């Protein structure tokens, strides 16, 4: 008898992507409207939530036996779902190790533990390859990762870790322990003082406008702006704590850092 959840609602993209990669997509009955990976999920599954809001009656009508959520930002949704009798698993991964652990837990939840371990091994190989490449650089570029432009927010911890693995030095590594975005708010003057060689920008849900970054007078003297070293990384690749960040997101970070390192 299959005692694993059969009707799962995923309130964020990374659990949807993981379940598809594990071959458990048939168990998904509802997904987040922000889901881009895989794109076919948007054709195949009902959209039931944004990030901090959800269509609770629509979720109720889907009769889920498990709802998957992420972080304190979805606490209000989770509270209401629990109050109405639903089983909810809320992940709160902020580091690379925690992302890999979340994949293992999710695999166990749906009876795909072996498949989850294979996925973890594949993602770990990606990390190892990027680390080997990064160690070959004669100098590590100083990197400022911008998660949001106004207020300016530096990168969350898994992004900072990916920068370091890929051979860069995160100029805001001292803030990566801050779990909430408000703890990573920075000023243009301070970014300028840290003089990054490279600016990676990924504005969650928005297209990056490099001209807004260039227009900050406090950054004009930095190595990054002197050579116009500003690179956008799509938020769907890097700002969801799941397989995307450790595959295509890591690849984008690694390539950008390698290009900059070659010019130092």
Confirm whether 254 is domain-assigned: yes
Confirm whether 108 is domain-assigned: no
pTM above 0.75, yes or no: yes
Confirm whether 71 is domain-assigned: yes
Q: Which residues of the chain have pLDDT under 70?
A: 1
What's the confidence (pLDDT) of residue 180? 86
Whether 167 and 36 share a structural domain = no
Count of domains forming the chain: 2
Whether 63 and 142 share a structural domain = no
Domain final residue pick, 92, 113, 136: 92
Confirm whether 100 is domain-assigned: no
Confirm whether 111 is domain-assigned: no
Confirm whether 104 is domain-assigned: no
Cβ neighbours of residue 132 closer than 8 Å, sequence gap 6 or more = none
Helix intervals (H) in the chain? 13-21, 40-44, 56-61, 75-83, 96-109, 113-135, 157-165, 188-194, 210-214, 223-226, 235-238, 250-261
Confirm whether 116 is domain-assigned: no
What's the confidence (pLDDT) of residue 1? 66
What does the pLDDT look like over 32-75, one tens digit per residue?
Answer: 999 999 999 999 999 999 989 999 999 999 999 999 999 999 99
Confirm whether 232 is domain-assigned: yes
Whether 249 and 140 share a structural domain = yes
State the sign of the Cα–Cα–Cα–Cα dihedral 24, 45, 237, 66. negative
CATH of the domain at 78: 3.40.50.1980
Q: Which domain holds residue 248?
A: 121-261
């Amino acid at each position: 008898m299959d005692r694993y959840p059969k009707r799962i609602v995923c309130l964020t993209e990374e659990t949807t992507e993981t379940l598809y990669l594990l071959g458990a997509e048939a168990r998904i009955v509802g997904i987040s409207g922000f889901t881009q990976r895989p794109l076919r999920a948007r054709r195949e599954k009902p959209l039931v939530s944004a990030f901090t809001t959800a269509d609770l009656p629509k979720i109720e009508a889907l009769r889920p036996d498990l709802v998957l959520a992420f972080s304190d930002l979805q606490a209000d949704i989770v509270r209401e779902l629990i109050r109405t009798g639903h089983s909810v698993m809320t992940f709160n991964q902020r580091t690379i190790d925690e992302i890999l652990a979340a994949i293992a837990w999710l695999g166990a939840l749906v009876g795909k533990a072996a498949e989850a371990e294979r996925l973890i091994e594949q993602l770990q190989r990606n990390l190892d390859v990027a680390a080997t490449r990064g160690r070959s650089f004669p100098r590590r570029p100083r990197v400022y990762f911008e998660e949001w432009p106004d207020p300016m927010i530096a990168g969350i911890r898994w992004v900072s870790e990916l920068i370091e693995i890929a051979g860069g030095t995160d100029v805001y590594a001292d803030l990566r322990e801050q779990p909430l975005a408000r703890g990573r708010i920075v000023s243009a003057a301070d970014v300028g003082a840290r003089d990054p060689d490279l600016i990676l920008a990924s504005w969650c849900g928005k297209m990056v406008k490099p001209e807004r970054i260039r227009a900050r007078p406090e950054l004009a003297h930095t190595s990054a702006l002197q050579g116009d070293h500003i690179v956008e990384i799509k938020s769907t690749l890097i700002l969801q704590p799941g397989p995307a960040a450790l595959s295509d997101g890591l690849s984008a970070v690694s390539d950008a850092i390698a290009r900059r390192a070659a010019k130092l």
